[in-house]
Amino acid sequence: MQIRELAIPGAWEVTPRLLGDDRGMFCESFKASEFEKATGRPFELHQVNTSVSAAGVLRGIHYTEDPPGQAKYVTCVRGAFLDVVVDLRPGSPTYGRWDSVLLDDVHRRSVFLSEGLGHAILSLEDGSTVTYLCSLEYSPEFDRDMDAFDPRLGIEWPTEGRDGSRLTYIRSAKDELAPPFS
């Protein structure tokens, strides 16, 4: 398992070692001892969510008010997503910056994001499925949203799916009405 910190401190890309044979493939998607050694922190699991999306579905930017904050460990189990992490921690040297990782069913990477970071995923093909391990149960009173297309953030969203077809962005009404970063 390889774990590297992204350009946003507190966010990591996790690349598992894939073991394949004539039966298929196996990998360790999460291993507490390796995670803690690389990140310097434990991950306490309180909720698991799974989301299935059509090509072009953009979920986010979502975050949980900090405190209490919510850390997430995100894995694509089918299809492909662009996973985007945004630093929303006032006073952070990377406040307002973003980084991204391609999560797919080929490389089986995951992304861990610490409390205080915003998160969005864009599905790059129909039926893409993502699972989130969460450090806090869903708490609507702390749930917040931000406009994923805010020009101040300047996120470079892909316009083509994994198969090269043109993406049409599909967002929830809540995400379309989300306030800007400012």
User: Is residue 6 scored above 90 in pLDDT?
Assistant: yes
* Beta bridge pairs of residue 119: 62, 85
Tell me the backbone φ, ψ of residue 117, rounded to 5 degrees.
Answer: -100, 145
Split at pLDDT 50, 70, 90, the class of 16 is very high
Does the residue 3 lie in any domain? no
State the catalytic residue, choosing from 62, 63, 73, 119.
62
DSSP assignment of 43-56, as one string?
A: ----EEEEEEE-TT
The model's pTM is 0.95
Does the residue 26 lie in any domain? no
What's the average model confidence in pLDDT over 23-32?
A: 96
**Confidence at residue 111, expressed as pLDDT on a 0 to 100 scale:** 98
**Confidence at residue 182, expressed as pLDDT on a 0 to 100 scale:** 83
Does the residue 2 lie in any domain? no
pLDDT in tens, 66-124: 999 999 999 999 999 999 999 999 999 999 999 999 999 999 999 999 999 999 999 99
User: Is residue 37 scored above 90 in pLDDT?
Assistant: yes
What's the average model confidence in pLDDT over 41-57?
A: 97
Is there a catalytic annotation at residue 107? no
Domain span at residue 151 reads 43-176
State the catalytic residue, choosing from 63, 73, 119, 132.
132
Angle at 3 between CA 35 and CA 74, to 5 degrees: 70
Does the residue 80 lie in any domain? yes
Query: What CATH number is associated with residue 79?
Result: 2.60.120.10
Does the residue 15 lie in any domain? no
Q: Residue 106, Cβ neighbours under 10 Å: how many?
A: 11
* Beta bridge pairs of residue 114: none
Q: How many domains are there within the chain?
A: 1
Is there a catalytic annotation at residue 62? yes
CA distances (Å), origin 56, targets 162, 164, 171: 11, 12, 9
Does the residue 139 lie in any domain? yes
Q: Which residues contact 92 (CB under 8 A, 6 or more apart)?
A: 9, 116
pLDDT in tens, 160-176: 999 999 999 999 999 99
Does the residue 10 lie in any domain? no
